């Protein structure tokens, strides 16, 4: 263990002040479920660490038609919030109780694939993230937050303070497929928000996890659906488009080939559930 200093700021202002003073050498920890194993195994050897647990970022605020989730809100807490059932379901599908009790919503945005089972639901809901530094604050759509495999738009002097989620106006579906029923890494996770008007698809957001460098939107599949009659033919075409456009990978859980096949299967199942 090389850590010499551990800061526990009592407010967001204090936290971003510490980031400004110490620069990128300061390791940020929220729930610690990703960061601590790396430190314990000697993969990450930070000299200074900042814990966000007491920085006042663990509230959920309900405003006109949207939910503002503090970045350090735990996944267990999200399971108990009934405002957006899709988010409850997403939290429920992550790890086991110990991970959900410690792991945070903000932390899930930084989890490498195949993790990202909460973030994919946020993508389907058109969530935005608030990034705060000691002298600025900006809001980005989640689609612009991710820039590559384990890279984001977050600057070294910034923290994610809040995730803003519009309450969905349409139907939602969430399906996670892994090798086991529970406490399992994803082979693929699908999250959908669908708005229908007289059986015509007015709008749709289709998120995919574990089949790209980060949770992605299946935009080609969305384009296939928008403006069409929501029937089995449209669903099959969208599932095919999603399987074509995703960027799966091979790991110890599944091959690239299998993941792509399962994207087609699970997108079809999720959409069929909504057609139900
Ligand atoms: C055994 C196990 C099983 C798991 N299973 C799943 C699963 O099924 N599905 C799934 O999606 N995930 C899974 N995960 C990943 C889990 O979702 C993440 O570990 C958790 O969400 C990360 O949150 P955290 O607060 O613990 O992150 P931390 O470990 O505290 O943070 C990790 C890093 O994220 C950054 N960070 C975190 N919060 C902020 C912030 N507010 N601002 C700026 N930077 C920040 C920092 O760089 C930090 O070092 C699993 C993890 C484990 C260990």
pLDDT value at residue 129: 98
What confidence tier does 227 reach under pLDDT thresholds 50, 70, 90? very high
Q: What CATH code is carried by the domain that includes residue 186?
A: 3.30.390.50
- Residues 183, 105: one domain? no
Examine the domain organization and report whether 177 and 269 are in the same domain.
yes
- Of 75, 95, 189, which is best to mutate to test ligand 1, by the most ligand atoms within 8 angstroms of its C-beta? 95
Q: Are residues 96 and 176 in the same domain?
A: no
Co-location of 76 and 120 in the same domain: yes
Q: How far is the CA of 116 from the centre of ligand 1 (A)?
A: 9
3-state SS, residue 99:
helix
The parent domain of residue 111 ranges over 60-166
- According to DSSP, residue 42 is labeled T
Domain identity same for 76 and 11: no
Q: How many beta carbons lie within 10 A of that of residue 221, not counting itself?
A: 27
Which of the four pLDDT bands, split at 50, 70 and 90, describes residue 56? very high
Q: To test ligand 1's pocket by mutation, which of 107, 109, 133, 215 has the most ligand atoms within 8 angstroms of CB?
A: 107
**Count of domains in the chain?**
3
Q: Give the tens place of pLDDT for each residue, 184-193.
A: 999 999 999 9
- What confidence tens digit (pLDDT) does each residue in 29-53 have? 999 999 999 999 999 999 999 999 9
One domain for residues 68 and 20: no
Q: Is the pTM of this model over 0.75?
A: yes
The tokens for 86 are 């899709």
Residue nearest to atom 41 of ligand 1 (CA): 160
Provide the pLDDT for residue 1: 59
Mean pLDDT, rounded, of the chain = 97
Token readout for 193 is 């928000």
């Amino acid at each position: 263990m090389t850590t010499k200093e551990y800061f526990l700021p009592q407010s967001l202002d204090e936290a971003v002040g510490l980031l400004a003073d110490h620069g990128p050498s300061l390791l940020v920890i929220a729930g610690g479920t990703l960061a601590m194993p790396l430190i314990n195994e000697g993969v990450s050897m930070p000299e200074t660490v900042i814990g966000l647990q007491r920085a006042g970022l663990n509230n959920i605020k309900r405003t006109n038609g949207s939910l503002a989730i503090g970045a350090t809100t735990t996944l267990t807490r999200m399971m108990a919030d009934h405002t957006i059932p899709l988010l409850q379901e997403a939290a429920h599908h992550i790890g086991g109780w110990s991970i959900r009790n410690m792991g945070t919503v903000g932390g899930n945005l930084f989890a490498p694939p195949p993790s990202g089972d909460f973030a994919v639901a946020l993508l389907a809901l058109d969530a935005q993230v608030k990034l705060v530094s000691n002298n600025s604050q900006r809001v980005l759509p989640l689609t612009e937050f991710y820039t590559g495999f384990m890279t984001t738009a977050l600057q070294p002097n910034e923290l994610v303070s809040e995730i803003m989620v519009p309450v969905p106006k349409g139907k939602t579906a969430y399906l996670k497929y892994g090798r086991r029923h529970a406490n399992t890494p994803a082979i693929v996770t699908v999250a959908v928000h669908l708005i229908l008007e007289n059986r015509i698809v007015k709008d749709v957001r289709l998120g995919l996890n574990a089949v790209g460098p980060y949770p992605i939107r299946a935009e080609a599949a969305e384009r296939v659906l928008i403006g069409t009659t929501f029937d089995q033919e449209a669903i099959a075409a969208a599932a095919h488009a999603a399987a074509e456009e995703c960027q799966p990978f091979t790991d110890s859980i599944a091959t690239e080939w299998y993941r792509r096949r399962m994207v087609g299967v699970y997108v079809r199942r999720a959409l069929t559930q909504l057609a139900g």
